[in-house]
Amino acid sequence: MKKIALLGKEDREVLFSRTAEKMKMHPSIVEKDFWVCFMLDHLFCDCMYKDAFVFKGGTSLSKSYHVIERFSEDIDLILDWRKLTNDTDPWDERSKTKQDRYNKEINSQAAVFYREKLVPALNKELTFKLGEGDWVEVDANDPMVVNFKYPRDFSMEYLVPVVRLEIGPLAEWMPSHVTVVEPFVAIEYPNAFEQRTTDILTIDIERTFWEKLTILHKMAYFPHGKILPRRYARHLYDVYCMANSWVKESAFARKELLQKDVVFKQKFYYAKSAHYETATLKEIKLIPADYIMDEVRNDYAAMKNMIYGNYTDFDSILNYLNDLEVEIHDLA
């Protein structure tokens, strides 16, 4: 991947454009996919903090497990909390007040780590691959996000012009294992690469399946008057795709992961409105609240260009999720 990163602007444009033609995609998606994989390769192979991360989330579903055909432009990472503190265990028993204080303190320390250690290290390291420049910076609106301003030659509506590294220190590393990531351009033009793939430590997909279901449960109780986050409809699509693949039976065989995710969220991301206490096999809800349904529908429509496989209509997804909800209740 380093070889492609060092190509001249025109040569990269040709490579990305030809790949896009072959895969019937917009060239900006092929371009950004390459830089997502480039950054993953750097983080897990060359970064001085390479042993501090685990890959998770929607991008792992497409790049590591190939069960969704949605372009995922962010990189969700778990940061080893031991990089921030040596004297406490996040899972120690605490009162609600003390746990809330602890969560805020760890996140505050993480923000300092990103700003003062990770970002300077990445900029120094990337200089040797991309030349001088401030390639990464902390997001202006979220101190827990680091933006990679990749060399950009194409643009597309709905596509954010940076690769967002969304890094959380309060998360479980297990269960996880090594997966292989490969950019689209390497699939179509393998001979252009000296190194086509990268080994990435990744959260097991079964854990991600149950985690996505608790997000849908939260959407079922979404607070009145609160603005729905952009691109939230992706969670419905992701669950639909996973449940229509081998993942469903594998996740059902590890149904204890639902309770583990609920316990985790209640401890580290408590939200009274989410009603996680009812996110059980017997009671979990997968359909968004009626009063946000139009917003979710419109958000899904806005995602259409990001889905490079079959675009399932929104009502079909809802109907399937209704059936899936019944299936899960029957597991209780």
Task: Please give the Cα distance from 173 to 107 (Å, whole number).
Answer: 17
Residue 172 has pLDDT above 80, yes or no: no
Task: Please give the Cα distance from 331 to 312 (Å, whole number).
Answer: 27
Amino acid residing at 78: I
pLDDT tens digits for 273-295? 999 999 999 999 999 999 999 99
pLDDT tens digits for 129-145? 999 999 999 999 999 99
Reference 212, options 31, 70, 53; nearest CA is: 70
- Answer for the pair 263, 207: CB distance below 8 angstroms, yes or no: no
Residue 268 pLDDT grade (very low, low, confident, very high; cuts 50, 70, 90): confident
Residue 23 has pLDDT above 80, yes or no: yes
Least-confidence region, from 81-85, 160-164, 198-202, 224-228: 81-85
- Counting every residue written for the chain, the total comes to 332
pLDDT tens digits for 104-133? 988 899 999 999 999 999 999 999 999 999
Residue 66 has pLDDT above 90, yes or no: yes
pLDDT for residue 200:
97
Question: Could you count the other beta carbons within 10 Å of the beta carbon of residue 151?
Answer: 15
Residue 332 has pLDDT above 80, yes or no: yes
Residue 156 has pLDDT above 80, yes or no: no
Read out DSSP for 238-273? HHHHHHTSTHHHHHHTTTHHHHHHHHHHHHHS--GG
Residue 231 pLDDT grade (very low, low, confident, very high; cuts 50, 70, 90): confident
| CA 163 distance to own-chain centroid | 11
pLDDT for residue 14:
94
pLDDT for residue 309:
87
Q: What percent of the chain has pLDDT over 70?
A: 98
In which region does residue 147 sit, left (phi positive, over 0), alpha (psi from -120 to 50) or beta (all else)? beta
- Answer for the pair 241, 264: CB distance below 8 angstroms, yes or no: no
**H or E segment to which residue 185 belongs:** helix 184-188
Prediction pTM value? 0.93
Per DSSP, the three-state class of 293 is: helix
Answer with the residue of higher pLDDT: 160 or 178: 178
Reference 307, options 113, 53, 81, 26; nearest CA is: 26
Pairing label, strands 53-56, 145-148: unpaired
Read out DSSP for 93-140? ---HHHHHHHHHHHHHHHHHHIIIIIHHHHHHHHHHHH-SS--EEE-S
pLDDT for residue 6:
86
- Answer for the pair 240, 317: CB distance below 8 angstroms, yes or no: yes
Read out DSSP for 74-90? EEEEEE-GGGT-SS--T
pLDDT for residue 254:
98
Residue 227 is given by DSSP the state P
Which residue, chain included where needed, has tokens 């958000």? 299
Residue 86 has pLDDT above 90, yes or no: no
Task: Please give the Cα distance from 221 to 216 (Å, whole number).
Answer: 9
Residue 188 has pLDDT above 80, yes or no: yes
Q: What average pLDDT does the structure give for the chain?
A: 93
Bridge partners, residue 176, by sequence: 203
pLDDT for residue 87:
61
pLDDT tens digits for 234-266? 999 999 999 999 999 999 999 999 999 999 999
Q: Measured at the alpha carbon of residue 70, what is the angle toward residues 21 and 311, in degrees to the nearest 5?
A: 85
